[in-house]
Structure 1
Amino acid sequence: MKIPFNRPGLHGRELEYIQDAIKRGKLAGDGHYTSLSNALIVDYTGAQSALLTHSATAALEMAAILLDLGPEDEVIMPSYTFVSTANAVVLRGATPVFVDIRRDTLNIDPEKIEAAVTSKTKAIFVVHYAGVICDMKAIQAIADRHDLIVVEDAAQALLSEQDGKKAGSFGAMAAFSFHETKNIISGEGGALSISDPRFIERAEIIREKGTNRKQFFRGAVDKYTWVDLGSSYLPSELTASFLFAQLEIAKDLTKNRLAAWDRYHTILATYEADGVIERPTVLPQGQTHNAHMYQILLSTPELRENFIAGMKAQGVITPFHYVPLHSAPAGKRFGRSEGDMSVTDDISARLVRLPMFAGVDAEQDEIIEITCSVLDTL
């Protein structure tokens, strides 16, 4: 393929920091670059604490443990999300309850949440799709009425904002991803940010295999031992050093992505006006996304397949996105749906994503030319 959907690359001091990490003689987790990365994530999110993990999946699993989820509990979430959002709940024996999304933002619909609340509901897992923050004011109001905890699956949303607050600071906890397909990358990687101080100390224990090792190194205890549930959620210092190099230029990388997003949006306006596609909704004042992706909706599933095939024939990869979890075999086995899922089903059948990665602007002329030529044939 001439142009992939994603192309990970070096954009800062990644190699320099990896070499420095090796020279420092500590490659296991929680070293120099882990500490620096944690601090930047706190700065970028406004959370009280942040802990690097080896993936956003790990961060979500930690959140599920921190919530003490069990077989009698339910967690409300969108069906239109990656499997990790639900797996974290299912691994604790709890039940994911899927609800529909909004047509404008493709985020969980607050109006559908309240109808899904039962005596078993313990939390709401929201997903900031494409870096667009959910309607957190409405969601938090529902959570407060029913004494529920909100967890943000902010895997795609680093540096997005809403009403002066940053993704990762709305819920009690938030999971971020630094997978190679995200805006800021380390190959594999993630973080759990924590805004509710009740969870900070226990999160450190869970992340350290259930031991109070971090307290020991701070001098708070004279020895460390097994004190709680936990697992090995730390990334290595090699991963952290690569990540820190990207985190320190995260605002510049985001600015470049936003410029590419705006260019796609401007060029494709004509096709939306002609009814060929639907473009992403432009956010109102006070909200900003991070240009994690640029997605379009074709008018029918058949036209989407024709578009994907036409782009591939000219060397450009444009994948669709999630198969809704409520319709997946494991979703039917482990979860349940509440209410109509028509928006989720419709969007998932028509959505396609254009290439978006750091440096995509160098190839965007060609991408746009091919995109327009394929759309002209539909």
Structure 2
Amino acid sequence: MIPFNKPFLTGKEVHYMYQAVYAGKLSGNGVFTKKCQSFFEEKYGFKKALMTTSCTDALEMAAILCDIKPGDEVIVPSYTFVSSALAFVRQGAHIVFADSCSDDPNIDTDKIESLVTEKTKVIVPVHYAGVACDMDKIMKVAEKYNLLVVEDAAQAIDSYYRNRPLGSIGHLAAFSFHETKNIISGEGGLLAINEERFIRRAEIIWEKGTNRSEFFRGEVNKYGWVDTGSSFLPSETVSAFLYAQLENLDMIQERRKAIWRQYYEGLKQLEEAGFIHLPVLPEYATNNAHMFYLVCNSLDERTGLIKYLKDNGILSVFHYLSLHLSNYYTSHYEYIPTLTQCDKYADCLVRLPMFYELKNEDVEYIIDKIRSYFVYKC
């Protein structure tokens, strides 16, 4: 069976974890935490980067920093992972779900302004598959209505919008290093802070509501409980693992992009024949090859394709279910919007195997089986 995902190890992860263990500093915010944070600040220009135990934690920190209160409205695409909405729900927000674009699973930026009310406080664009949302349009709406923007960049490491790194455009951003991402630490995440006004409070929230970071920098002579917060700071061994990955970012990205191009070139004739739709890359966006997906023309076709591939030794998966149709949302909200494009992707999108060690011959085999399914089964 060709797996959907296989975590890639560079070879130095365990070595750096060993160093962290024998340095006697395991609780976090040590040498490797600082190295990872400096990497992101220097390479992508974030004013401050804070390692977290997950992307969900980074989003929860962002929700606290946005000062969300019960009844505040937050605009989120329905086609996303639950954390994009849940982080704000935990602070009492009312989620307003937005539809996807007709040719792209990202949020339909042309419809965001129509969703803004006097209660709206935050817009959460999700860069699906590492491909940028139209951030100029989003930031223009945010500026017009004095809203905050939190980029959900879970899938978007090393991807750009008009030469600007994703995660550096909104007021705040969250990244994921889950084992399915390009760069991994098993679990793990990062909060990117792009405005000075959020930095001090973010450090306090990060350290369980205390000003412990200031104390260790010698800025105060004692530390205590000064704000809300939680245990968002990961173990030093998590950062040690991640740093080995970051050192090899360019190599990992180069290989993933080669696999992505091989899929695209091998499947584009099926798209031209009308059997499938392939990913669209807008002129303002780069491709970080986080995933390769295709969109079938119906749920039945999608179900049949996944089964056919599995029968031939290939594990492919569908992706998100529409959050506006989830049990939680429908049981807590009276108004359920109609989001046609979101539902299309929920029913028809298929993710193909994508990982560093996937061989060219395996990709060709997968392409061949997809062609066979549509030519002989449909």
* TM interval, short-chain normalised: over 0.9
Question: Quick check: 334-343 or 361-370, which moved more?
Answer: 334-343
Matching residue of 1:27? 26
Gaps of 5+ in 1: none
When the two structures are aligned, how many residues end up with a matched partner? 376
Given candidates 275, 288, 291, the residue that maps to 1:290 is 288
Matching residue of 2:343? 345
Q: CA–CA distance in 1 between the matches of 2:133 and 2:24?
A: 42
Q: CA–CA distance in 2 between the matches of 1:336 and 1:14?
A: 49
Question: Quick check: 109-118 or 359-368, which moved more?
Answer: 359-368
Following TM superposition, by how much is the alpha carbon of 1:207 offset from its aligned partner in structure 2, in angstroms? 0.6
Runs (4+) off by over 6 Å:
none
Matching residue of 1:218? 217
Gaps of 5+ in 2: none
Following TM superposition, by how much is the alpha carbon of 1:337 offset from its aligned partner in structure 2, in angstroms? 6.4
Matching residue of 2:195? 196
| 2:356 counterpart of 1:358 | yes
Matching residue of 1:55? 54
Equivalent residues in 2 for 1:1-378, closer than 5 Å: 2-284=1-283, 286-334=284-332, 340-362=338-360, 363-376=362-375, 377-378=377-378
User: SS of 2:50's equivalent?
Assistant: strand
User: SS of 1:295's equivalent?
Assistant: strand
Q: CA–CA distance in 2 between the matches of 1:44 and 1:255?
A: 17
Following TM superposition, by how much is the alpha carbon of 1:275 offset from its aligned partner in structure 2, in angstroms? 1.0
**Equivalent residue letter for 1:297:** V
**Equivalent residue letter for 1:341:** L
Q: CA–CA distance in 2 between the matches of 1:72 and 1:250?
A: 41
User: SS of 2:46's equivalent?
Assistant: coil
Q: CA–CA distance in 2 between the matches of 1:36 and 1:334?
A: 43
CA contact (8 A) 2:89 2:95 kept: yes
TM-score (norm 2): 0.96
Following TM superposition, by how much is the alpha carbon of 1:12 offset from its aligned partner in structure 2, in angstroms? 4.1
CA contact (8 A) 2:156 2:288 kept: yes
Cα shift readout 1:168-192 (whole Å, capped 9, x = no counterpart): 1010110000000000000000000
Following TM superposition, by how much is the alpha carbon of 1:282 offset from its aligned partner in structure 2, in angstroms? 3.1
Following TM superposition, by how much is the alpha carbon of 1:367 offset from its aligned partner in structure 2, in angstroms? 2.5
Cα shift readout 1:121-160 (whole Å, capped 9, x = no counterpart): 0010110000001100000000000000000000000000
Q: CA–CA distance in 2 between the matches of 1:337 and 1:292?
A: 34
**Equivalent residue letter for 2:349:** L
Q: CA–CA distance in 2 between the matches of 1:337 and 1:296?
A: 31
**Equivalent residue letter for 1:287:** A
Cα shift readout 1:273-318 (whole Å, capped 9, x = no counterpart): 111111111332x521201111101111100000000011112111
Structure 1 residues 334 and 218, CA gap change in structure 2 (3 angstroms):
farther
Cα shift readout 1:7-60 (whole Å, capped 9, x = no counterpart): 112124112111111121111111111000011122343211100000000000
Following TM superposition, by how much is the alpha carbon of 1:338 offset from its aligned partner in structure 2, in angstroms? 8.0
Q: CA–CA distance in 2 between the matches of 1:69 and 1:36?
A: 31
CA contact (8 A) 2:8 2:355 kept: no
CA contact (8 A) 1:71 1:95 kept: yes
Following TM superposition, by how much is the alpha carbon of 1:334 offset from its aligned partner in structure 2, in angstroms? 4.3
CA contact (8 A) 1:127 1:152 kept: yes
CA contact (8 A) 2:324 2:336 kept: no
Structure 1 residues 366 and 43, CA gap change in structure 2 (3 angstroms):
farther
User: SS of 1:288's equivalent?
Assistant: coil
CA contact (8 A) 2:58 2:190 kept: yes
User: SS of 1:278's equivalent?
Assistant: coil
Cα shift readout 1:82-114 (whole Å, capped 9, x = no counterpart): 000111011001111101111223111112111
Cα shift readout 1:62-91 (whole Å, capped 9, x = no counterpart): 000011101120100100000001110110
The percent identity for this pair of structures is 47
Q: CA–CA distance in 2 between the matches of 1:73 and 1:26?
A: 40
CA contact (8 A) 2:131 2:281 kept: no
**Equivalent residue letter for 1:330:** Y
Question: Quick check: 81-90 or 13-22, which moved more?
Answer: 13-22
Cα shift readout 1:340-373 (whole Å, capped 9, x = no counterpart): 4111111211100100112223532332333333
Structure 1 residues 133 and 113, CA gap change in structure 2 (3 angstroms):
same
CA contact (8 A) 2:324 2:337 kept: no
**Equivalent residue letter for 1:276:** F
**Equivalent residue letter for 2:326:** A
CA contact (8 A) 1:97 1:338 kept: no
CA contact (8 A) 2:281 2:287 kept: no
